[in-house]
Structure 1
Amino acid sequence: MTALLDVNEIRCGYDGEAVVDRLSFALTEGDICCLLGPSGCGKTTVLRAIAGFLQPDGGDIHLDGQLLASGTRSLPPEKRRVGMVFQDYALFPHLNVRDNLTFGLKGHSAREKSRICDELLQLVKLEDLGHRFPHELSGGQQQRIALARALAPEPKLLLMDEPFSSLDVELRRALALEVRAILKERGITAIMVTHDQSEAFAMADKIGVLNAGELQQWDTPFNLYHEPATRFVANFIGQGVFLAGSLLNRNTVRTELGDIEGNRCYEWLENTPVDILLRPDDVIHDDSSDKKAEVIAKVFAGTATLYTLQLPTGSRIQSAFPSHHDYAIGEHVGIRLEADHLIVFRREEQAVGGSHYGLEATSVESQQ
């Protein structure tokens, strides 16, 4: 399928210092993607380059076959057919909701503006608030009006820069799902920037994880969680702890909790020291198991309790038990592993920063 947006090996920076280096990705029409990463990783810089607020030092950006920017050329932002939802919403305080929505509709008749406004207010479920001013709206309502205003000119691409960051946690998650439904209903192609994993998982078809200006992995939320391509992605996405082990054969790792056979094959030599990532859902409570661990910390989270468990060797793992189990600190509980997705890295490849860590493995299924 032909890409609607093609970002090809762009390099961007400020004052001669590179922030993003040779970053590439593509979106097909109707895709919703997210650039996810810690503060300073370059995700907002990428968004600014696509929007036209920053010219790349190299590489190029195409939208629907049109060159938006390269190291030598840059189309003005107003000619890119790109909509933008800012972190602070950027609504005009002296204009009511209807006037905010229609502000950018130059060349439209009053009747056409009214039709578009009515349609968008209905889309974001705020039909009765057109006469109100921004300060009379809640944060969630302001966010939806900002989204509607960005959609009014019918952009080819919508960009959203931390659009939920000023809202409380529960509202952020609910609104992310609501905004995704609105975008899908209209077939809008969109890119959101965030550092919040729950927002990214709720919103995106594809997620690009950035670190130190490099794209570590571009994948579905499921694959980022279960098949992280680098140690950074494994650490950054979800929860989990690395447990020391050694390679027993091509797809089995020996650990103090027993031999773990997974869905990947490795080319390393037998007995290669490795670290295996165990997610809380990989560690199952089992009173009949001969494998015991001591509860050293716990966090109640409603439907489940997240336990930090210490093994006899001193190693620590985490597990999410159903909340009707209530174990005290210092108590010993039986556990077993159900790690269907084997996430393993060679131990000598530990590092910091943006270094990549090849899994050097292929899916078992792909070889059959």
Structure 2
Amino acid sequence: MSELRICGLQKSFDGNPVLHGIDLSVERGTLLALLGPSGSGKTTLLRVLCGFERADRGTVEIDGRRVAGDALHVPSEQRRIGYVPQEGALFPHLSVADNIVFGLPRAQRRARHRVAELLELVGLPASFAERAPQQLSGGQQQRVALARALAPSPTLVMLDEPFSSLDAALRLETRQAVASALAAAGATAVLVTHDQSEALSLGHEVAVLWHGKLIQTATPEIIYRRPVTRELASFIGEAVLLQGVAARDRVTCELGELTLAAPAKDGAVDVMVRPEQIRLWRADETTPDGTASFDAIVQDVIFQGQDAAVGLQLQSAARTVVRARVPGYRTPQPGERVRLAIDGDVTAYARA
């Protein structure tokens, strides 16, 4: 598999800019999750990379070969890109085997080249080769679509929200199977998604598109713990935002004096805390020595089985309500008095 290099990529439709100077690199064997809200330009970027749309400006290189730029536009069929669409798009009149070999040369189609190997790679039994697509579950169809994309040994695999139509349990199972298959094939892949948990759990790296601009590319942990804007912090997961004052590597807010994950400019800031960082103790429990805790009253509880979202009103600031996330077995009751403390460092954003 190969590397992908994008430089200064721009695309407009009817004079309306959609992509604004995208610069991005994807190393060999990497699964990059391209994340962003609806309308951020994810699908447009995918279509430009695949050659379905022509770039206005900028360059695209795959494994050192330029496929777009300076009036150059290599057709999609010559880019050696495997493409997995949202719904799988299998041909209903062809068997699973014939779907997998559809894009291969005639001799290889007749020989059903690598069908058994590819089915095994995506976690399906060889006996599925003779089945019709409509005899498979949605997750199995997506695995066959991936096998079809891998059959010609492409230089790059593009996945366009391939799990969005699956129910929750099937989505998780299919995600794991697809990730394992891509890793086993040593594939370089770009997964387009608006699902934050999908991007964080599957991507070796996550690139975030926001209004047509690439605002951050980093590991999933950094994207989640240190998002570059407060808007991204709220998009990538639940976020508690409080006003505070930063000084060097510390920040003071209504939850005490906290350590910053990265230095912030001294002065007024918004402090971002993840709900799972807020630890709770019942009023009659003893907190660990040296832990600064704050009294609060439970306002509301949303129980979700393995965990629960808890709304808390701080007693030191009657109008301040924060939301914590606690293990399901430690779920408090509305009206209960508790104590809370912050675990770990936090991120701050300068206030204008």
Confirm or deny a common fold (TM above 0.5): yes
Secondary structure in 1 matching 2:330:
coil
Q: In structure 1, how many angstroms separate the alpha carbons of the residues matched to 2:152 and 2:170? A: 27
Q: In structure 1, how many angstroms separate the alpha carbons of the residues matched to 2:197 and 2:127? A: 31
- Provide the residue aligned with 1:353 in structure 2: none
Q: Tell me if 1:101 matches 2:106.
A: no
- The Cα offsets for residues 157-183 of structure 1, whole Å up to 9 and x where unpaired, read as 000101001101222122112211110
Contact 1:285 1:333 (C-alpha < 8 Å) held by counterparts: yes
Q: CA deviation at 1:136?
A: 1.3
Of 327, 334, 337, 2:339 maps to 334
- The Cα offsets for residues 165-214 of structure 1, whole Å up to 9 and x where unpaired, read as 11012221221122111100110100010100111122110111111001
Alignment length (residue pairs): 340
Q: CA deviation at 1:100?
A: 0.7
Contact 1:216 1:233 (C-alpha < 8 Å) held by counterparts: no
Of 302, 313, 321, 1:299 maps to 302
Contact 1:11 1:20 (C-alpha < 8 Å) held by counterparts: yes
Secondary structure in 2 matching 1:324:
helix
Q: CA deviation at 1:71?
A: 5.1
Q: CA deviation at 1:326?
A: 3.2
- Provide the residue aligned with 1:48 in structure 2: 47
Structure 2 counterpart of 1:274, one-letter code: V
- Provide the residue aligned with 2:81 in structure 1: 82
Contact 1:243 1:277 (C-alpha < 8 Å) held by counterparts: yes
Structure 2 counterpart of 1:299, one-letter code: I
- Provide the residue aligned with 1:256 in structure 2: 254
Q: CA deviation at 1:277?
A: 0.5
Contact 2:264 2:348 (C-alpha < 8 Å) held by counterparts: no
Q: In structure 2, how many angstroms separate the alpha carbons of the residues matched to 1:110 and 1:47? A: 28
Q: In structure 2, how many angstroms separate the alpha carbons of the residues matched to 1:120 and 1:19? A: 37
- Provide the residue aligned with 1:129 in structure 2: 128
RMSD: 1.6
Contact 2:98 2:112 (C-alpha < 8 Å) held by counterparts: no
Q: In structure 1, how many angstroms separate the alpha carbons of the residues matched to 2:351 and 2:78? A: 50
Contact 1:5 1:26 (C-alpha < 8 Å) held by counterparts: yes
Q: In structure 1, how many angstroms separate the alpha carbons of the residues matched to 2:144 and 2:340? A: 50
Question: Cα distance 1:337–1:125, how it changes in 2: closer, same or farther (>3 A)?
Answer: closer
Higher alpha-carbon deviation: 39-48 or 294-303: 294-303
Secondary structure in 1 matching 2:144:
helix
Q: CA deviation at 1:322?
A: 2.3
Contact 2:241 2:271 (C-alpha < 8 Å) held by counterparts: yes
Contact 2:298 2:313 (C-alpha < 8 Å) held by counterparts: yes
Secondary structure in 1 matching 2:308:
strand
Contact 1:121 1:148 (C-alpha < 8 Å) held by counterparts: yes
Q: CA deviation at 1:107?
A: 4.4
Higher alpha-carbon deviation: 66-75 or 101-110: 101-110
Structure 1 counterpart of 2:351, one-letter code: R
Secondary structure in 2 matching 1:286:
strand
- Provide the residue aligned with 2:312 in structure 1: 309
- Provide the residue aligned with 1:267 in structure 2: 265
Q: CA deviation at 1:259?
A: 1.1
Secondary structure in 1 matching 2:233:
helix
Q: TM-score with structure 2 length normalisation?
A: 0.92
Contact 1:37 1:211 (C-alpha < 8 Å) held by counterparts: yes
Identity of aligned residues (%): 39
Q: Tell me if 1:282 matches 2:281.
A: no
Q: In structure 2, how many angstroms separate the alpha carbons of the residues matched to 1:266 and 1:104? A: 53
